């Protein structure tokens, strides 16, 4: 009973709003710290890769961006499942707040992949299973955002978007494997990423950059979620109190 109470307490915007507000500076700070450490290790200390030369350094943003693009989609689907099962207001807001960041991560993954592919494979784009799946993931993000933007009623938008996310999550592995299989049949364009054993510093640099991207995404998503909360709950007392406090702060 007590657990239940707590869950609902944190799932309610009234408690989540100030909590998120207090946490955002920490996530920003962590993101900067991890980012600086990761860039220091990755760009300044790490030695060159004997096969790819200095071009491999794109990995320090390419891999974190790809990870985040997939991870954010999973988190959104998780929120969607909670939202559809327990009918919580917060889930839709969080999924909504995460989507643009996820789409940007997918775009960055494709962009850096293209810039990495050109010098290494000789082509900006190849129809490799991973690249193609990432492109489709970007389409899925765009579909989610287009659907929720087209529905005026926020409750329906949350639920319909959530259902789409769940359908997408079921489909992503199917799409990935079918594209992979398709790719092995068309050997002409297939590409082998050289799996050279990574030096310790490279690995640490990459993990630190991944942490930086992670903290960044949380910070931006929380900021967006706070705005969405104010917008959606504009008629409640707590939002009015927040706004009144905000005016006093500005007057000083």
Helix (H, G, I), strand (E, B) or coil at 128: coil
Residues 209-248 that bind another protein (CB under 8 A): 216, 219-220, 223-224, 226-227, 230-231, 234, 239-240, 243-244, 246-247
Q: Near another protein by CB under 8 A, which window of 11-19, 59-67, 69-77, 88-96? A: 59-67
Q: Which residues pair with 53 in a beta bridge?
A: 49
| Residues near another protein (CB under 8 A), total | 68
Q: In terms of CB distance, is 90 or 116 closer to another protein?
A: 116
Residues 25-54 that bind another protein (CB under 8 A): 43-48, 53-54
**What is the x/- site pattern for another protein, positions 135-174, by CB under 8 A?**
-x--xx-xx--xx--xx---xx--xx--xx-xxx-xx--x
Q: In terms of CB distance, is 7 or 123 closer to another protein?
A: 123
Distance, in Å, from the CA atom of 181 to the CA atom of 199, rounded to the nearest integer, reads 31
Q: Can you tell me which of 77, 116, 206, 215 binds another protein, judged by CB under 8 A?
A: 116
Backbone phi, then psi, for 49, in 5-degree steps? -90, 135
Burial code (b: 16+ CB inside 10 Å, e: under 16) for 149-175 equals eeeeebeebbbbbbebbbebbeebeeb
Distance, in Å, from the CA atom of 235 to the CA atom of 87, rounded to the nearest integer, reads 20
Region for 53 from its dihedrals, namely left if φ exceeds 0, alpha if ψ lies in -120 to 50, beta otherwise: left
- What is the smallest separation between the CB atom of 98 and another protein, expressed in angstroms? 12
Distance, in Å, from the CA atom of 17 to the CA atom of 232, rounded to the nearest integer, reads 12
In 3D space, the residue among 222, 197, 220, 155 whose CA is nearest the CA of residue 21 turns out to be 222
Distance, in Å, from the CA atom of 102 to the CA atom of 76, rounded to the nearest integer, reads 9
| Residue 183 · residue 128 · CB < 8 Å | yes
DSSP structure class, residue 53: B
Residues 170-209 that bind another protein (CB under 8 A): 170-171, 174-175, 178-179, 181-182, 185
Q: Can you tell me which of 108, 131, 165, 211 binds another protein, judged by CB under 8 A?
A: 108
Which residues form the interface with another protein (CB under 8 A)?
A: 43-48, 53-55, 57-58, 61-62, 65, 100-101, 104, 107-108, 111-112, 115-116, 118-119, 136, 139-140, 142-143, 146-147, 150-151, 155-156, 159-160, 163-164, 166-168, 170-171, 174-175, 178-179, 181-182, 185, 216, 219-220, 223-224, 226-227, 230-231, 234, 239-240, 243-244, 246-247
């Amino acid at each position: 009973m007590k657990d239940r109470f707590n869950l609902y307490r944190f799932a309610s915007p009234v408690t989540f709003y100030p909590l998120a507000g207090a946490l955002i500076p920490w996530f920003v700070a962590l993101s900067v710290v991890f980012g600086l450490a990761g860039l220091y290790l990755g760009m300044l200390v790490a030695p060159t890769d004997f096969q790819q030369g200095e071009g491999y350094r794109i990995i320090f943003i390419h891999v974190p961006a790809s990870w985040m693009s997939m991870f954010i989609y999973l988190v959104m689907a998780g929120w969607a499942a909670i939202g559809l099962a327990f009918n919580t207001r917060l889930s839709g807001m969080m999924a909504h707040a995460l989507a643009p960041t996820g789409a940007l991560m997918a775009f960055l993954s494709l962009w850096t992949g293209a810039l990495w592919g050109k010098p290494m494979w000789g082509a900006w784009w190849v129809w490799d299973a991973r690249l193609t799946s990432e492109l489709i993931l970007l389409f899925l993000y765009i579909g989610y955002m287009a659907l929720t933007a087209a529905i005026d009623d926020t409750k329906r938008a949350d639920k319909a978007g959530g259902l789409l996310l769940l359908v997408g999550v079921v489909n992503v592995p199917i799409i990935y494997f079918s594209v992979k299989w398709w790719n092995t049949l068309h050997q002409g364009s297939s590409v082998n990423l050289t799996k050279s054993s990574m030096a310790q510093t490279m690995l640490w640099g990459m993990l630190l950059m991944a942490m930086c991207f992670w903290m960044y995404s949380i910070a931006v998503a929380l900021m967006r979620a706070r705005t969405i909360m104010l917008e959606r709950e504009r008629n409640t007392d707590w939002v009015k109190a927040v706004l009144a406090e905000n005016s006093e702060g500005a007057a000083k």
